Structure 1
Amino acid sequence: MKRLIQNPNLTLFYDERFLSNPVIKEHAPLCKEYLIAIKNVLDISLTEYNRVYVQRIDLRYPSHYAGHNCGDISRFFSSLKEKIKHDLRKKNKVDKFILRYVWVREQLSSENPHYHVALFLNKDVYFCLGDITKDSDNFSSMIKGAWASALGIEYFEVKSSVHFPSNSTYYIHKGKNTYQEEYQQCFYRLSYLAKIDTKIYSNGLKNFSTSRK
């Protein structure tokens, strides 16, 4: 097993499948430890919920923004959790709700880094972004609002900095005959987050993390 020179604790992964699941080999090498962590979050979500909604998003900094720091992503998740709690109270949904996630920090040639994020939710509570072109009361607007809150700026300033990639929504239904196909398609897409390229390992900052529960 080859190790990453910049961080010998990380193992380089070049195979086409990880634990029988296809991965994005064209972005190899991937990080084995990241793949393990991604799969763990997905599996924990499926242990708790029979129907899981996975949403990929990208968070970038506005072009005028200066002073990014490593706490921005933590503030984003804190704000999003509060917005979800408020939304559920407003809808009289008092069921226990856990937001799970995976995030990676990457930077190529831009002055600021960017984040690739995967959100894992109970599909019986949230199942889509809503109309991403409108500033309505939907899940996509909560995501934009949470990023604005994390950066301490106005909502309109981040509207073009929150990106929802094409084909970025996945549903996995435990117990259905399509389960394995749904699982593998989702994991394949999520394996992109495990790529080594464009992650910075020389500054001592965390560039990969997941929710803890």
Structure 2
Amino acid sequence: MYYEIYKYSKYLGLSVNSNHDFNEVYLRSVHKVLSSALNEHPRTLMFHVVLRYPENQLGGIEGSISRFINSFREKIKADCERKTRLHKNVHRTSIRYVWCREYSESMKEHFHVFFLLNNDTYFRLGNYFSPKEGHLTWMVNTAWASAINISWENMPGLVEFAGCKTINARRIASSHVKERDGVLRDSFESAFHWMSYLCKVATKAYGDSVRNFGCSRN
């Protein structure tokens, strides 16, 4: 597969991790998804999950990431409809996402996924250790269980919540925060820097006719 390597420390004025070479097509897609989310929802909840297969499974399951995304969409839709029936105030949300397929040193296939939702619809993930129906943590776990056809009881360790933050569309100097690498960034810059991890060339398998990267189109 042909791809353009991007070796610079910034993309469209936004910092990326200079320790990696990036696929420029992927960077372009991440920027578009992030910008579209904030154009629609000025306050956007973004969270990162890592999805793994059971240890005794030798390879990935074809179509699992697509089934996971579709299942998660359906759970969001059902949750909003349930709240509407209960006469709760429900804010509309689009569901935007970016995912990549990677391999660990032991060649275990896994996925990284970023979701971007309206922060007025969901402002937190819910309980990590004991997810309850209606929590985003529950929706993610049960969607992945369904996608790889295992029971909910066998899920521990297969879903990792790797972080969550609220992004603000307004980019003002006073909103900058010093991050772990010592750089001051506002929430948009920070979100793009974080999401750019999915665009690195390393740890991906090219040429096996299976997609390494995908994102929402709306």
Confirm or deny a common fold (TM above 0.5).
yes
Instruction: Indicate whether 1:172 and 2:167 are aligned.
Output: yes
How many percent identity over aligned positions?
A: 33
Match of 1:40 among 32, 42, 50: 32
Q: SS state of the match for residue 112, structure 2? A: strand
Which residue number in structure 1 is paired with residue 179 of structure 2? none
- Displacement after TM superposition at 1:204 (Å): 1.2
Query: Partners in 1 of 2:112 and 2:95 — Cα distance?
Result: 16
Instruction: Indicate whether 1:123 and 2:116 are aligned.
Output: no
Contact 2:45/2:166 (<8 A) preserved: yes
Gaps of 5+ in 1: 1-6
Instruction: Indicate whether 1:15 and 2:8 are aligned.
Output: yes
Amino acid at match of 1:152: N
Amino acid at match of 1:20: G
Instruction: Indicate whether 1:155 and 2:152 are aligned.
Output: yes
Gaps of 5+ in 2: 177-184
Query: Partners in 2 of 1:134 and 1:94 — Cα distance?
Result: 24
Query: Partners in 1 of 2:93 and 2:61 — Cα distance?
Result: 28
TM-score (norm 1): 0.89
Match of 1:105 among 101, 104, 118: 101
- Displacement after TM superposition at 1:15 (Å): 0.9
Q: SS state of the match for residue 46, structure 1? A: helix
Instruction: Indicate whether 1:205 and 2:210 are aligned.
Output: yes
TM-score (norm 2): 0.87
Query: Partners in 1 of 2:109 and 2:62 — Cα distance?
Result: 10
Contact 1:144/1:159 (<8 A) preserved: no
Which residue number in structure 1 is paired with residue 45 of structure 2? 53
How far does the alpha carbon of each residue in 1:54-111 deviate from its partner, in whole angstroms, 9 at most, with x for none? 1011000011235633300000011111111111112115654321100000113445
Which residue number in structure 2 is paired with residue 145 of structure 1? 142
Query: Partners in 2 of 1:67 and 1:107 — Cα distance?
Result: 11
Query: Partners in 2 of 1:209 and 1:191 — Cα distance?
Result: 13
Query: Partners in 2 of 1:198 and 1:67 — Cα distance?
Result: 16
Q: Cα RMSD between the aligned structures? A: 1.7
Amino acid at match of 1:159: P
Amino acid at match of 1:173: N
